[in-house]
Amino acid sequence: MLKEKFVPVAIDQAYQRRQKDTEGDFYRKIAGASPRGDGSGGGTTQGLYVAAPDGSYLGFSNHRSPERIRRLLLDCLSRYQPAQTQSIRAEKTDARYNPQPPKGGLVVRVQAKILDGYQPTDDRWKKIFQSAISRDNLWISGEEHRSLARGQVPDILQRRIARFHLVDNTRGEPPMWKMAEIRKLEMRIEGKSLRGSVHLETSDSSRGYVAELFGKLQVKEGQVTRLDLVARGDFWGEGRYTRNAPSGKFPLAISFRLADGKDVADRIPPQGSRGWVRGYLTE
Amino acid sequence: MSRFHGGLAATLFVFSGLLEGTLPAQNASPLNDEEFGKILSEVNTPLDKPWRQVPWKISLLEAQNQAARTGKPIFIWAMDGHPLGCT
């Protein structure tokens, strides 16, 4: 039904509810007509919305039950009356919330999976979270791309990988690592292999990750054509929005693969860059 | 964020792990070509999952434009953290 009867769009509303541009206006028009409100008070507007092409509000839900979502869709379809509507052109684009990957750089898909450690459960939702594979993107600048092609992993890139991508984001938005939480970090290219190790830990030792990295790199005519990397190690702790991690230390694996642009998710900015792209790329 | 307190994420975007047989880290041998290949393929979203068959757009204006052309309503999955780019 979703594929055939609707135009489905997925967004991080932390952008759209703040955007001072055409898209932001359109989103706030819809959200503002819902029980959520338009977020002008600073609160989240997350949820599921259905709207007519002109932005007229049709329905909202913030439930994950497939049955309730199906009811929402059917209810909205029953009340929706198609009408001639003009396409909206982007008269204004808020650059802060429309970041683009660095020119001449690379986009790398990053996924994480907890390999073991959860207590067995019969809970439907816990089971899903316990087996989840996360997804984020790593952005590599043009200069860093050239360094990789020369067989070097710049320190700034190592830090970005560690701080923003060696995280447990399998249950939601994770806390990123602060600079001071990098206890040890080393990555090097040996021929066509990439090797390294990392020790990340908070000052109170409540959260940490000690891992080994191993990868493969291929370069053709100055361009990186393969960049596959895995990290595997022991993670411990959780964040405000990543509750219910396994207790104690648990094995966490993270994979990195060069994106080919065929997946729509390849276009999504890194989670760690949200509202702060410059800091993500330059710190 | 509270994306999973009431969101659709768990319904559509998380999926079963495939890592039976992968060693816990504390008991694992150093990463080598074999382990590397195993993790790389297993920590990777399968293409045939139903949520990946949905033709998601990530631009609301692109969605509006398509909706205006086709006369279909827009379904917006709005979360804290990008639904397609986090978990």
The pLDDT value given to residue A124: 87
Tell whether the model's pLDDT for residue B20 goes beyond 60: no
Contact yes or no for A48 and B56 at CB 8 A: no
What does residue A76 show for φ and ψ, rounded to 5 degrees? -65, -40
pLDDT digit string (tens) for A146-204?
999 999 999 999 999 999 999 999 999 999 999 999 999 999 999 999 999 999 999 99
List alpha helices for chain A, DSSP H.
2-5, 13-16, 22-32, 66-79, 124-130, 142-149, 155-160, 277-282
Average pLDDT value over all residues in chain A: 95
Contacts of B59 in chain A (CB under 8 A): 9, 23
Contact yes or no for B40 and A249 at CB 8 A: no
The residues, ordered by sequence, that sit 6+ positions from A42 with a Cβ below 8 Å of its Cβ are none
Tell whether the model's pLDDT for residue A37 goes beyond 90: yes
- Which residue is closest to A256 within chain B, CA to CA? B40
- Which residue is closest to B79 within chain A, CA to CA? A46
The alpha carbon of residue A144 is apart from the nearest alpha carbon of chain B, in Å, by: 23
Contacts of B50 in chain A (CB under 8 A): none
- Which residue is closest to A67 within chain B, CA to CA? B11
Higher pLDDT, B9 or A47: A47
Tell whether the model's pLDDT for residue B24 goes beyond 70: no
Contact yes or no for B14 and A132 at CB 8 A: yes
Contact yes or no for A129 and B42 at CB 8 A: no
Q: Per 3-state DSSP, what percentage of chain B is helix, strand, and coil (rounded to 5)?
A: 40, 10, 50
Determine how β-strand A7-12 pairs with β-strand B74-79.
parallel
Please tell me the distance from the alpha carbon of residue B55 to that of residue A4, in angstroms, as a whole number.
10
Q: Is the C-alpha dihedral spanning A242, A259, A195, A157 positive or negative?
A: negative
Question: What's the whole-number mean pLDDT along residues A50-61?
Answer: 98
pLDDT band at B17 (very low <50, low <70, confident <90, very high): very low
The pLDDT value given to residue B53: 86
The pLDDT value given to residue B86: 60
pLDDT digit string (tens) for A194-251?
999 999 999 999 999 999 999 999 999 999 999 999 999 999 999 999 999 999 999 9
- Please, is B3 exposed, middle or buried when counting C-beta atoms within 10 Å of its C-beta (0-12, 13-18, 19+)? buried
- Please, is A177 exposed, middle or buried when counting C-beta atoms within 10 Å of its C-beta (0-12, 13-18, 19+)? buried
Contact yes or no for A52 and B45 at CB 8 A: no
The residues, ordered by sequence, that sit 6+ positions from A190 with a Cβ below 8 Å of its Cβ are none
The pLDDT value given to residue A122: 93
Determine how β-strand A223-236 pairs with β-strand A250-258.
antiparallel
Cross-strand bridge partners of residue A210:
A199, A234
pLDDT digit string (tens) for B29-43?
789 999 999 999 999
Three-state DSSP class for A258?
A: strand
CA angle A142, A271, A208 (to 5 degrees): 105
Q: Which H/E stretch holds residue B33?
A: helix B33-42
Question: What's the whole-number mean pLDDT along residues A3-22?
Answer: 95
Please tell me the distance from the alpha carbon of residue B50 to that of residue A7, in angstroms, as a whole number.
16
Cross-strand bridge partners of residue B56:
none
The pLDDT value given to residue B28: 67
pLDDT digit string (tens) for A140-162?
999 999 999 999 999 999 999 99
pLDDT band at B27 (very low <50, low <70, confident <90, very high): low
- Which residue is closest to B18 within chain A, CA to CA? A131
Tell whether the model's pLDDT for residue A43 goes beyond 50: yes
Contacts of B78 in chain A (CB under 8 A): 11-13, 16, 27, 31, 45-49
Cα–Cα separations (whole angstroms), residue A184 to A50, A94, A197? 48, 38, 8
Please tell me the distance from the alpha carbon of residue A233 to that of residue A252, in angstroms, as a whole number.
6
Please tell me the distance from the alpha carbon of residue A142 to that of residue A105, in angstroms, as a whole number.
4
Please tell me the distance from the alpha carbon of residue A107 to that of residue A265, in angstroms, as a whole number.
11
